[in-house]
Amino acid sequence: MRDVRMGRRVFLGVVGAGVAGLFAGSRLSRAAAPLGSVVPNALHDLVPDGWRIYSVNPPWPVFDPATYRLTVAGAVENQLSLTWDEVMQLPQDTQTTDFHCVTGWTVGNVHWTGVRLQHLWDMAKPTAEARYANFISMEQPYVDTLSFKQTLLPEVMLGHSMDGQPLSRAHGAPMRLVIPEMYGYKNVKWLTRIDLVQTLNPGFWEQRGYDVDAWVGRSNGY
Amino acid sequence: MDAPTATEQSAFVRRFSPAERSLHWLLAVTFFAMLATGLILYLPALAQVAADRQMWKSIHLGAAIAFWGGTLLLLLSAPGELQRTARELDSFDEDDRRWLRWAVRRGTAEPPQGRFNAGQKLNTALIAGLMVVFTVSGTLMYLQETDASFRGTSAILVHDVAMYVAVPIVLGHLYLALVHPSTRHSLRGMAIGTVRRDWARRHHAKWEREV
């Protein structure tokens, strides 16, 4: 028997599966997550994991230890302009945390060395007006923001070493904001300036509709 | 009357028209351009190469636009012709179903096939569907980047899964077209339009009888 509509059924089936995936995909992958442990490793390895390097205005900024300054300004009693040597003399901390990108990829167990923001605040002495901190990148016009309280979360730091190596140019040398509780776009790379301010200024991606409070798993439609 | 012998017939028969071949090669070139630039954007191992992601994205999108623009031009330049080809690909008869079973289990002689065998029909339908899925999910990915109202769909996941489905199909197609001894002759048909008549008789008997 000749079936003159077989090809289009296959075609429409593929299109239909794709459209269904658009609406049910994240629910399906969450439902399937417990299956992860029974999927053979070979299959896991098919999906590459590791860093993607995003920037908004290539080429990437270049770090020069001789001229670099970390500025802390705005609602503070003492404005700071620290050389790289001075940054490295601040008390150092380490942590091992996961990094989540809002586009869906994750890098687990990243080992960081860096400086807690409390040490900067101890020197700069924020005033009562300091309700938000704007983290400004050498890569213009990239900026993102945290509430002052969020800067003191236990796993927030300015990271300058990643997995035992000084932070590479691609990853934001010499230093990036690390806030593992939030998606990668909050983790400003090539950090050079922190402004403490009274009112919220949405960051680069937040001006394009992403959530200001970018909690992993609880924002941006996840 | 006896069937004509091979010497009485031309040694080659025309299998694919210029419009069919143009559409095939348009897809081939743009597909691999999108695959290469897509992998540069996707694979962490290539993340450092992809320093200028914006450029790779532009090439990726440019290839997609070239594919659909070119497809539209071909449809308009040969009105009706590609639609007839699509109808040919659309219809499966009993021999096609037997051919698919044969392709999996072998054991019997190859059931007679028309100008396209059932595997080629299936391949075309799957790839055509996947191109639509790539386009819809890719367009959403493009829009999501600048407009929050397009977020909330799993466009990236669907685009990735479509890639994992399409690549094995295309690799299988490449193997049959370039390597497998009994099928690789068809490359000639896609390159210059004609195939050997004796090859056509063996693999596409129902069509060969008519040309």
**CATH number where A180 lies:** 3.90.420.10
- With tokens 């009693």, the residue in question is A77
Span B134-192, pLDDT tens digits: 999 999 999 988 777 777 778 998 999 999 999 999 999 999 999 999 899 999 999 99
In the prediction, which pLDDT does A28 show?
73
DSSP-derived 3-state class of residue B103: helix
> Is residue A100 included in any domain, yes or no?
yes
The alpha-carbon gap from A75 to the nearest alpha carbon of chain B, in Å, equals 32
pTM: 0.84
B91, B158, B162 member nearest A6 (Cβ): B91
The alpha-carbon gap from B137 to the nearest alpha carbon of chain A, in Å, equals 7
Same domain for A126 and A201, yes or no, is yes
Q: Do B129 and A58 lie within an 8 Å CB cutoff?
A: no
Same domain for A192 and A112, yes or no, is yes
Domain limit, last residue, from A46, A61, A78: A46
Same domain for A31 and A109, yes or no, is no
A31 touches chain B (CB under 8 A): no
CA distances for A81 relative to A69, A87, A198, B28, angstroms = 6, 10, 21, 56
Domain region containing A40: 6-46
A7 touches chain B (CB under 8 A): yes
Q: Alpha-carbon distance A114 to A175, whole Å? A: 8
Same domain for A172 and A75, yes or no, is yes
Same domain for A10 and A120, yes or no, is no
* ipTM above 0.85 for this complex: yes
Q: Do A1 and B94 lie within an 8 Å CB cutoff?
A: yes
Span B95-118, pLDDT tens digits: 999 999 999 988 888 999 999 999
B44, B126, B161 member nearest A48 (Cβ): B44
In the prediction, which pLDDT does A208 show?
87
> Is residue A33 included in any domain, yes or no?
yes
- Structural domains of chain A, count: 2
> Is residue A29 included in any domain, yes or no?
yes
Hey, which bits of chain A come out as E strands?
A: 70-74, 80-82, 93-100, 106-115, 132-137, 143-147, 157-162, 165-166, 176-178, 191-197
DSSP collapsed to 3 states, B51-101:
CCHHHHHHHHHHHHHHHHHHHHHHHHHCCCHHHHHHHHHHCECHHHHHHHH
On chain B, the residues whose CB falls within 8 A of the CB of A21 are: 154, 157-158, 161
On chain B, the residues whose CB falls within 8 A of the CB of A7 are: 86, 89-92, 121-122, 124-125
Instruction: Give the CA angle between residues A135, A140, A142 to the nearest 5°.
Output: 40
* Residue B46 pLDDT greater than 90, yes or no: no
Evaluate whether A122 touches A150 at the Cβ level (below 8 Å). no
> Is residue A218 included in any domain, yes or no?
no
